[in-house]
Amino acid sequence: MNSPQVIDDRYRLVRPVGAGGMGRVWQGLDLHLEREVAVKVVRPDLLDGPGRHEAAARFRREARVTAQIQHPGVPAIFDAGLDAASGELFLVMAYLPGLNLRDLLDETGPLPVDWTLAIGAQLASVLTAAHERHVIHRDLKPANIIVGPTGLVHVVDFGIAAVLEPDVSRLTATGDKPGTLNYMAPEQIRAQPAGPAADLYALGALLFEMATGERLFADRGSAYEVQTAHLKELPEPVRRARPDFPSELDGLVSRLLSKEPAERGSDAAAVHLQLAAMLAGSPASGTPVRDCGDPTWPFRAPLAPARVAREAAAKAAAPQPDRSARRLAEADRAYAAGDFNGALSAFRALAKDLETPDPALALRCQAKAAQCLAALGNAASALTGLSSVVERQRRLEGERARSTLYSRRIAVDMLAALGRMPEAHRELATVVGEMAAAFGPADADTIEAERLLRAWSAPPQAGPGWPMPTASSPGSPPR
């Protein structure tokens, strides 16, 4: 599939953001309502051959199952159907910015006490809503968990969920073991029916990993040994590695990881209450927030705007008087005066110092540092760095945030400076459309980008150079 593509004459696919067993997930744009969405498109090979009807039935069922779960931590389902032009099944959901738990754990290692308890409590709340609708997830793992900008935890991909109604047939093949091995309950390994207790086992494995930084039984040498450990062994108590955790957590994790489903219980609501009570008695860690929000914030300030949460985190992380505004002004003046080396050093230092208290501003400083690098004649390195900045801005602030779109606009100039004119022209056309939709045609950034696009009515063939003559001049401070 080549992007951009429009599904069902309505949903434009912007960029791929993930892939799973059933297909690929794209960040998209609803052209009718002008809102960001996530679009899952089923793998074409699953619709070929004798399994076509089973795959189609499973995909449609995913939409129905997920749509039945009413909870802020489950993405809303907007649409599902078959694209007449391509013959591909699609599912349209709310787009969820933030950081998935897998990336968060890989980046930070063990989480602080309050974050572990808060994420666990939110997961238990989502499972409660699902189990009340007779739905189990059966594949709860870090990659399927997203911590959003406000700290709200979302669970995605109920695509292999089993409906608990006794008259509903299983759609997975006989002997298939859905789920990821490190989080798989013993009954799933035995290919036995999996109920709510299987999700609670996965929750216990997640609590263990968030607290210790190690996947459950990850030290085993083979998949067979991991399966055997799930069937026969208990892990070390959490507090042996993390004595700062409340003693009640060891008992809870031990119960959730019981080999027999009946010993775990099936009441996710009770687990939520236990974790929330532990969280209430735990001090706030003030952990730096990067591409996601503080997951304790929904408990401390329910429904607070994302900006308020970020400001509170910044205040907690930087109690000393802030000198960043003065330093930023000095860096801007250096750039405007043509002192690109001095500005580069200043923006890089600012980005490092602001990473904890204000990650969004730190990213903008990194983008400005990339502009300095390009002005010094190293557009290739500048573009590589700016591409990384854009990806983090997408996760932290959203695809249509001004900072994200402006960084993409600057990347157009770098592409042009490298002589990649057709690519620059295509990206500029996309950015102009998205700026107009997000800010309006009268916005200054939209007007500037549209003016350059008109000058590029056909992809130009100019040679490398920075800055481009039609773009901001080196004397204009970067934003």
Binding residues for ATP: 40
Phi-psi label, residue 17: left if phi above 0, alpha if psi -120 to 50, beta otherwise: alpha
Radius of gyration of the chain (CA): 25
At 15, is the secondary structure helix, strand, or coil?
strand
CA dist list (Å): 237 to 49, 227, 257, 275: 49, 20, 11, 17
Residue 84 is given by DSSP the state T
Q: Name the token pair of 128.
A: 């409660």
Residue 468, judged by CB atoms within 10 A of its CB (0-12, 13-18, 19+), counts as buried
CA end-to-end distance (rounded Å), the chain: 35
Range 314-328 burial, b when 16+ CB lie within 10 A, else e: bebeeeeeeebeebb
- CA 478/CA 248 separation, integer angstroms: 52
Which string of DSSP letters, residue by residue, matches 392-423?
HHHHHH-TTSHHHHHHHHHHHHHHHHTT-HHH
Range 405-422 burial, b when 16+ CB lie within 10 A, else e: bbbbbbbbbbbbbbebbe
| Residue 139 a catalytic site member | yes
CA dist list (Å): 391 to 367, 387, 388, 395, 416: 12, 6, 5, 7, 20
- CA 312/CA 164 separation, integer angstroms: 42
Phi-psi label, residue 243: left if phi above 0, alpha if psi -120 to 50, beta otherwise: alpha
Which amino acid is it at 388?
A: S
Annotated binding residues, written as ranges, equal: 40
Task: Report the largest interatomic distance among the alpha carbons of the chain, rounded to a whole angstrom.
Answer: 74
Active-site choice (114, 139, 291, 294): 139
Measure CA 17 to chain center.
8
Looking at the annotation, which residues are catalytic?
Answer: 139
